[in-house]
Amino acid sequence: MVQMVPDSLMVFSGNANPKLAQAVVQHLNIPLGRATVSRFSDGEVQVELNENVRGRDVFIIQPTCQPTNDNLMELVIMVDALRRASAARITAVIPYYGYARQDRRPRSTRVAISAKVVANMLQAAGIDRVLTMDLHADQIQGFFNIPVDHLYASAVFLPYIQSLKLDELVIATPDVGGSKRASTFSKYLGVPLVLCNKSREKANEVASMQIIGDVKGKNVVLIDDIVDTAGTITKAANIMLEAGANSVRAIASHCVMSDPASFRVQESGLTEMVFTDSIPYSKKCAKVKQLSIADMFAETIKRVMNNESISSQYI
C-alpha cells in the first residue's frame, strides 16, 4: 500500500503547463509552490521563489513544449533558483521532453545530438532526477548520469481503448519506427498488428506510404508518440479507410500539433485523435480529445518520495 506524502515534498510549475501541475497537486492534496516566473522586456526569464524550500524535496513540472526554448530556459533557471535556495533534492518532471527527435546522427552529416545537449544543460543546472513520459527514443535515458524514471502513457490509453468496446479491433502504427510501441498494445489487447511503411522527402513531409497487413472491415487504432504537423497520421488514416477499414482512430502521447495539424485532423477520415495532456492544447478541433496523466504522475511522485517501486503501477 502506498504511503502518504511526506511533509518535505513541494511541487512547483513554470508557465508551460500550469493546468497539469495544478491537477497533480490536487491528487497529492498539497498546494502548488508559490513562485514568480516572468520575463524582462527583452524576453529574459526571471524566477523568484516566494516561499522557503530549504531542505525540501522539490519537483518542478515543466514540459519543454512550444515555445520550446522559452520553457526549457524557465526550467533551467528554476532549478538554479531552487539549488541556490538550498533545496535538498530537485526532480525535473518533464512530461514531454523537447528535442527528443534529435537523438542521434542519422546520416554522415554535421548535425548536433540536441537531446544530449538538453540533458547536459539540465544536469549542469543541478537536477538530481528526471521524471518523464514516452520519450521519442528510449536511449535518451542514457544521456543522463542521474536517475531517470520513464513513464508510459499506455497506462492511460489501454483502459480507454478497452472502454470503446470495438469489434474487429486492429492496432496499427503510422511508421515502422513505432512498431515496438504498437506491438505492446496489440499483445496486451490480443489483437492483430498492422504496419505502415513511409518514406520522406524531407522532415515533416511524407512522400509515400504503404500498408503492411489487412484492415478491411476492421476498426483501426493508430498508435504514435508525437503528432507534430499530423501529416503522417492523417495520411495513414485516409489510406486505411481507402483500403476498407470501418473506422480509424489515432492515439498519441504528446500533442505537439504545429500548424496546420488541427486543420488536417479535422479534415481527415479520423473518428477522433486522442492525446494525453502532457502538452496543453488550446486550438479548436472537434476531433481532438485529451486524457489526464495527472493521477499517474502524482502516484509516481508519491512512490519516489517513499522509495517504492514505480514499474509495478504500470500495465
C-alpha to C-alpha distance for 96 and 180, rounded to whole angstroms = 19
Phi-psi region of 244 (alpha: psi -120 to 50; beta: other; left: phi over 0): left
Q: Which residues pair with 221 in a beta bridge?
A: 171, 249
User: CA end-to-end span of the chain, whole Å?
Assistant: 17
Are 293 and 300 in contact by the 8 Å Cβ rule? The answer is no
C-alpha to C-alpha distance for 82 and 78, rounded to whole angstroms = 6
Nearest alpha-carbon partner for 270 in 224, 221, 228, 226: 221
- Catalytic, 198? Answer yes
Please pick, among 116, 180, 187, 198, the residue that the annotation labels catalytic: 198
What is the dihedral angle through the alpha carbons of 225, 227, 228, 229, rounded to the nearest 10 degrees?
150
Are 129 and 300 in contact by the 8 Å Cβ rule? The answer is no
* Grid cell for residue 296: 499517474
**Beta-carbon count within 10 A of 15 CB:** 14
Q: Which residues pair with 133 in a beta bridge?
A: 151
* Grid cell for residue 270: 479520423
Paired sense of beta strands 247-255 and 273-276, if any: parallel
Please list, in sequence order, all residues whose beta carbon lies within 8 angstroms of the beta carbon of residue 189, skipping any fewer than 6 positions away: 158, 161, 162, 169, 171
What's the Cα-to-Cα distance from 239 to each of 157, 227, 245, rounded to whole Å?
A: 24, 17, 9
Are 49 and 35 in contact by the 8 Å Cβ rule? The answer is yes
Active site residues: 198
